[in-house]
Amino acid sequence: MHNGAMRTRLVGLTLAALLPAVVLAGCSGSDDPGADPSATPTVTESPSEEPSATPSLDVPDGVELTTQGSALELGDTATVAYEVDQSTVGVLGITVTDMRRTTFKQSFQGWKLGKQLKKANPYFVEATFKNKGETDLGGQRPPLYIVDGNDTLVESSTFVSDFDACPSTDFPKKFKPGKKVTRCLVYLAPDAGELVAVSFRPAQEFNPITWSGDVLKLGAKRKG
């Protein structure tokens, strides 16, 4: 179980974490053109106290939010609300549909990876997002994390160049109420971490909503 009382770490990768080798080869300003890119994860320790009550957020009439702490399976949909910023509330229907494990050799050929990244395990997660609120969420980052066996929350990775295998992009520039988009998101679990669950946890005091299921090898056929 992954609840708010657990001690977690939030790990994210800088934009420079994943660079195509061809980009590095074209950089002439470095004294060491073969050097690995900067890829220091940002790590935030969360407190271990019991979570406090989450402030209520205004959602459109008729929208029923999924209960905090719900443990869902692949294909299940959660309706969630979160603060995009101090003046904006986002409301989404999120359906996690697939979780895949891959390798750097299989999916990252031609990419220059730092030593720390090479210790990570790469995963692809596919999810569908429907804007159920009243705000255009264009350009926002999909608010999903993965949880590994050490209760580490891992943010999705971003790229400075196109990554066709799993683009891991933000919502489109215009993502208006009623619209639906599907995203494939890349996660790099540090220290050979294993994907245990996908998590919606917009704030530390929020008891996360999680999705779990079989994590298949990339290319394997999912039954059912």
Question: Which residue(s) pair with 210 in the sheet?
Answer: 71, 199
**AA letter at 83:** E
Q: What is the mean pLDDT of the chain?
A: 80
Instruction: Please give the model's pTM, rounded to 2 decimal places.
Output: 0.79
pLDDT single digits (tens) 79-131? 999 999 888 999 999 999 999 999 999 999 888 888 888 899 999 999 999 99
Cα torsion 195, 200, 202, 203: sign = negative
Q: How far apart are CA 76 and CA 107, in angstroms?
A: 27
Residue 55 confidence (pLDDT): 54
Q: 10 pLDDT exceeds 60?
A: no
Q: 217 pLDDT exceeds 80?
A: yes
Looking up tokens 């980052």 gives: 141
What is the tally of helices (H) and strands (E) in the chain? 3, 14
CB–CB of 7/37 below 8 Å?
A: no
pLDDT single digits (tens) 171-188? 999 999 999 999 999 999
Q: Tell me which CATH code domain 9-27+37-47+64-217 carries.
A: 2.60.40.1240
Q: How far apart are CA 16 and CA 113, in angstroms?
A: 10
Q: 15 pLDDT exceeds 70?
A: no
